Structure 1
């Protein structure tokens, strides 16, 4: 159980998909300062669920179909359609399960999120077990959701008169993203003795 907790925290904070690996940049950059918080949480929940389902299903396909047939080199061509095919039913299921969040219009953001494909490839290449795969996908989804919320707060707070005109907008957002990435690197020595 301690390996599960360690992998969960590591995926969420230390190896964050957005701030450390740069995989899920596109959906985070599409967050505007006027973004509705409910839409932000809908995107975070949809990405979290998609990561968990795709990574675990991709691992099963790899272990029981590709690896026994020695077709490991086809991982990309199998996982990419898997990521795309799962989005529509997942959004429908989430909109029925959580009707208070607006899941409509999230399809393009989920399609452009390469974190789903990237993490699925990393999990199969790393040879993780079922529990570790669940922990990595859950932690990565929570870390994405955290980075999404932090970036939206940064954009909201950076629109004031205290910031010079030339730094408002994207320049201060990129500087803030760099500072957030450095802050998340501080968690790197969290589990060392």
Structure 2
């Protein structure tokens, strides 16, 4: 249980997919409305959990025994693309207050979903660790997305010099957030 909690905490905060590994930066910069941020965060967290877990099982039960490990990327990408629609429909039915329509392109272009599956196959510490890494990666993405949206709202009304408005200040803000999250690295000693 301790390993599960440490992996979950580490994937969400310390080795964050957006800030530590630059995966999933495009949806971070593309979302605007607060409700859309939470809808995208929840959809990404659910999709990372499902694709990460099923990708690990697919790799260990089908691809590795059949010596087809060269097809991993194709299988995981197909799994990710095929699950986006059903996950969005299920979440829209479950939480009708959140705007899940229009998230298809943001989820399709999110490299963090595929990155979690690749990290699960690289570490290969078991199904529990794969689930913890997938869930932690999704929750960490949602956290960074929410914090970045709050930071964007705060900088929107400030007096920022003209050359730094828009994307430049967003990238500077993301870099400063990455440095802040890097300070959490000393919390967990392995």
Same fold (TM over 0.5): yes
Give the RMSD, CA atoms, in angstroms: 1.2
The offset of 1:161, in angstroms, is 4.2
Which of 118, 139, 142 does residue 142 from structure 1 map onto?
A: 139
Q: Runs ≥4 in structure 1, deviation > 6 angstroms? A: none
Residue 121 of structure 2 corresponds to 124
Residue 71 of structure 2 corresponds to 74
Distance in 2 (CA, whole Å) between partners of 1:171 and 1:125 is 34
The worse-fitting range, judged by mean Cα deviation, of 176-185 and 150-159 is 150-159
Aligned length: 190
Distance in 1 (CA, whole Å) between partners of 2:5 and 2:122 is 21
Distance in 2 (CA, whole Å) between partners of 1:26 and 1:104 is 18
2:24 aligned with 1:27, yes or no? no
Which blocks of at least 5 consecutive residues in structure 1 are unaligned?
A: none
Deviations 1:29-86 (A, max 9, x none): 102xxx3221111100000000000010011110110111111111011111110000
Deviations 1:129-156 (A, max 9, x none): 1111111111100110011111111211
TM (normalized to structure 1)?
Answer: 0.94
TM (normalized to structure 2)?
Answer: 0.96
Which of 56, 59, 64 does residue 62 from structure 1 map onto?
A: 59
